[in-house]
Structure 1
Amino acid sequence: MGDSRLIQGRYRLHEVIGRGGMGEVWRATDEALGRRVAVKCLKPLGPQQDPHVRDVVRERFRREARVAAALQHRGITVVHDFGEYEGVLFLVMELLEGRNLSQLLAANAQSPLPVQDLVEITDQVADALAYTHGQGIVHRDLKPANIMRLRDGTVKICDFGIARLGADMGFTSKLTGTGIAMGTPHYMSPEQIGGGEIDHRSDLYSLGCVLYELATGVPPFDLGDSWAILIGHRDTVPSPPRAHRAELPDYFDRLVVDLLAKVPEERPADAGDLRRRIVSGRAGPSPFAPLPGVPAQPPLPPTRPVPVDLPPGPAAPAPAWARGMTGGHRPAAAADGPRPLAHDPAAAVLTTEWTTPAPATCFPATPSTPFTSAAPPAELVAVLAGRYRAGMGLGRLGRWDEAEAVHRSVAEDRSRVLGPDHPDTLASHYEVGFALARLDRPADALHVFDRVARARARVLGEDHPDTLAARQERAYALGRLGRHPEAYELYVEVLAARERAVGPDHPDTLRCRHNLAFTLASLGRLEESYRTAHEVAEARARLLGPAHPDTLATRQEVAHVLGRLGRGEEALVQYRAVAEARAAALGADHPETLAARYETGVFLGRLGQAADALDVCRDLVAARTRAQGADGPETLRARHALAVNLGRLGRWEEALAESREVHALRERVLGADHPDTLLSRRETAVALGRLDRWEEARETHRAVAAARTRLLGPAHPDTVAALEDEAHCLERLGRPADAAALLLGAATPPRGAASA
Structure 2
Amino acid sequence: MGRMLNGRYRLVESLGAGGMGEVWRAVDERLARTVAVKLVRPDNVDSDEAVARFQREARLTGQLSGHANVVILHDFGEHEGSVYAVMELVRGRTLSAILRDTGPQPIPRAADWAGQVSSGLAAAHAAGIVHRDIKPANLMVLDDGTVKILDFGIAGFHQAVTQSRRLTQTGAIIGTPLYMSPEQARCENVGAAGDLYSLGTILYQMLTGRAPFRHDEPLGVLRMHLMEHPRPPRELRPDLPADLDSLVLSLLAKAPTDRPGNARTVRERLLPFAARPGRAPAPSDAPGPPEPNAAGPDSANPAQATTRTATSPTVAEPHRDLERRLREIEDLAEEGHFAAAAQRTRSCLPELERAYGPEHPETLRARRKLAYLTGKSGDPERAVVLYRELVTELDRVYGRRHPETLAARYYLASNAGRAQDHTTAARVHAELLPDLAAAHGPDAHRVLTTRLYLAFEVGETGEHGRAVALLDALVPDLVRVLGPDHGTTLRARHYHAAYTGYAGAPADAARLYHQLLAEHTRIHGAGHSEAARTRARLRHWQDRARCP
- TM-score, normalised to structure 1, is 0.40
1:90 is aligned to 2:25: no
After TM superposition, the structure 1 = structure 2 runs for residues 48-87 of structure 1, keeping only pairs within 5 Å, are 53-72=46-65, 73-87=67-81
Deviations 1:84-141 (A, max 9, x none): 1111111111011101111112233xx3111111011011111111111111111111
Task: Call closer, same or farther: CA 1:265–1:94 in 2, change over 3 Å.
Answer: same
Does residue 305 in structure 1 map to residue 279 in structure 2? yes
User: For 1:408, which of 330, 338, 343 is the aligned residue?
Assistant: 343
Shift, 1:163, TM fit = 1.1
d(CA) in 2 for partners of 1:150 and 1:115? 19
Shift of 1:154: 0.5
Please point out which of 106, 119, 127 is paired with 1:127: 119
Of the structure 1 ranges 172-181 and 53-62, higher mean CA displacement relative to structure 2 is found in 172-181
Larger radius of gyration: 1
Partner amino acid, structure 2, of 1:74: A
Q: Map 1:401-480; keep pairs closer than 5 Å.
A: 408-410=343-345, 417-418=371-372, 420-422=374-376
Matches within 5 A, 1:681-692: none
Cα contact 1:79–1:94 (8 A) shared by 2: yes
Partner of 2:327: 393
CA separation in 2, counterparts of 1:395 and 1:129?
Answer: 24
Per the alignment, residue 175 of structure 2 pairs with: 183
User: Does structure 2 conserve the Cα–Cα contact (< 8 Å) formed by 1:309 and 1:423?
Assistant: no
Residue 54 of structure 1 aligns to which amino acid in structure 2? S
Contact 1:123/1:304 (<8 A) preserved: no
> How far is 1:54 from its partner?
2.0
Q: Which amino acid aligns with 1:217?
A: G
CA distance in 2, matches of 1:19, 1:276: 36
Structure 1 position 149, deviation (Å) = 0.4
After superposition, the C-alpha distances for 1:59-99 in whole angstroms (9 at most, x for unaligned) are 11111111112213110000101101111111111011101
Matched, 1:20 2:13: no
SS at match of 1:15: strand
Counterparts of 1:308 and 1:226, CA distance in 2: 31
Distance 1:100 1:203 in 2: 18
Distance 1:178 1:241 in 2: 35
SS at match of 2:42: coil
Amino acid at match of 2:218: S
2:407 is aligned to none
Residue 114, structure 1, aligned to residue 106, structure 2:
yes
Does residue 220 (structure 1) correspond to residue 212 (structure 2)? The answer is yes
Closer, same or farther in 2 for the Cα pair 1:131/1:419, shift >3 Å? closer
2:205 and 2:212 in contact (8 A); partners too: yes
Is the CA contact (8 Å cut-off) linking 1:415 and 1:422 kept in structure 2? no
**Code of the aligned partner of 2:42:** P
Cα distance in structure 2, aligned partners of 1:172 and 1:224: 30
Amino acid at match of 2:116: Q
| Alpha-carbon offset, residue 55 of structure 1 | 1.3
Q: How does 1:38-57 map to 2 (within 5 A)?
A: 38-45=36-43, 53-57=46-50
Is residue 2:176 matched to residue 1:202?
Answer: no
The change in CA–CA distance for 1:273 and 1:404 in structure 2 (over 3 A counts) is farther
Structure-2 change in CA distance of 1:251 and 1:425 (3 Å): farther
- What aligned pairs does 1:155-170 form with structure 2 within 5 A after superposition? 155-170=147-162
Distance 1:62 1:43 in 2: 16
Checking the alignment, whether the CA contact within 8 Å between 2:2 and 2:12 is kept in structure 1 is no
- Tell whether 2:257 aligns with 1:282: no
Equivalent residue, structure 2, for 1:320: 298
Relative to structure 1, the CA distance from residue 414 to residue 321 in structure 2 (aligned partners, 3 Å threshold; closer, same or farther) is closer
Show CA shifts across 1:282-327 (max 9, x none). Answer: 39xxxx9xxxxxxxxxxxxx5343889999278999843685479x
Give the drift of 1:410: 2.2
Task: State the alpha-carbon separation in 1 of the partners of residues 51 and 167 from structure 2.
Answer: 27
Change (3 A) 1:309 1:320: closer
- What stretches of structure 1 move > 6 A for 4+ residues in a row? 171-178, 306-311, 313-318, 387-390, 395-398, 403-406, 411-416, 423-426
Question: What letter corresponds to residue 98 of structure 1 in structure 2?
Answer: G
**Closer, same or farther in 2 for the Cα pair 1:423/1:250, shift >3 Å?**
farther
Matched residue SS, 1:148: strand
The alpha-carbon distance between structure 1 residues 166 and 181, as it changes in their structure 2 partners (threshold 3 A), is same
**Superposed displacement of residue 174, structure 1:** 9.2
Q: What are the within-5 Å matches in structure 2 for residues 589-608 of structure 1?
A: none
Distance in 2 separating the partners of 1:425 and 1:124: 31
C-alpha distance in structure 2 between counterparts of 1:308 and 1:10, whole Å: 34
Contact 2:92 2:285 in 1 (8 A): no
Aligned 1:541-580 pairs, distance under 5 A: none
| 2:30 alignment partner in structure 1 | 32
Partner Cα separation in structure 2 for residue 273 and residue 203 of structure 1: 14
Following the alignment from structure 1 to structure 2, what is the Cα–Cα distance between the partners of residues 304 and 419?
15
Equivalent-residue separation in structure 2 for 1:171 and 1:177 (angstroms): 8
Given that residues 93 and 283 in structure 2 are in contact (C-alpha distance below 8 angstroms), is that contact kept between their aligned partners in structure 1? no
1:320 counterpart letter in structure 2: D
Deviations 1:387-428 (A, max 9, x none): 999746357999xxxx999753326867974584436989xx
In the superposition, the TM-score normalised over structure 2's length comes to 0.54
Using a 3 Å threshold, how does the CA distance of structure 1 residues 388 and 410 change in structure 2: closer, same or farther?
Answer: farther
Query: What is the Cα deviation at residue 21 of structure 1?
Result: 1.0
Mapped to 2, the partners of 1:219 and 1:100 lie a distance apart of 16
In 2, Cα distance between equivalents of 1:317 and 1:307: 6
Structure 2 counterpart of 1:70, which letter?
A: Q
- Cα distance in 1 for partners of 2:281, 2:379 equals 13
Residue type at the aligned position of 2:343: R
SS of structure 2 residue aligned to 1:18: strand
Q: Once the two structures are superposed, what CA deviation does each residue of 1:173-198 show, in whole Å capped at 9, x if it has no partner?
A: 99998746432111111111123342
Partner-residue secondary structure (3-state), 2:31? coil
Which structure is higher in RCO with an 8 Å CA cutoff and minimum separation 6? 2
Residues in 2 aligned to 1:208 and 1:60: alpha-carbon distance in whole angstroms: 28
Q: 1:117 to 1:250 in 2, by over 3 A?
A: same
Alpha carbons of structure 1 residues 176 and 204: separation in structure 2 relative to 1, 3 Å: closer
Identify if the C-alpha distance between structure 1 residues 36 and 230 changes in structure 2 by more than 3 Å, giving closer, same or farther.
same
Shift of the 274–112 alpha-carbon distance from structure 1 to 2, 3 Å rule, reads same
Unaligned runs of 5+ in 1: 289-301, 327-378, 380-386, 427-458, 460-756
Whole-angstrom distance in 2 between the partners of 1:125 and 1:158: 11
Post-superposition shift, 1:56? 1.3
Counterpart of 1:15, as a letter, is E
Q: CA RMSD in A?
A: 4.1
Return the alpha-carbon distance in structure 1 between the equivalents of residues 105 and 28 of structure 2. Answer: 36
Give the Cα–Cα distance (whole angstroms) in 2 for the partners of residues 309 and 243 of structure 1. 28
Aligned mates of 2:204, 2:300 — CA distance in 1: 16
Deviation, 1:272, is 1.3
For residues 317-344 of structure 1, give each alpha carbon's deviation from its aligned partner in whole angstroms, at most 9, with x where no partner exists: 9843685479xxxxxxxxxxxxxxxxxx
TM-superposed CA distance for 1:259, in Å, is 0.3
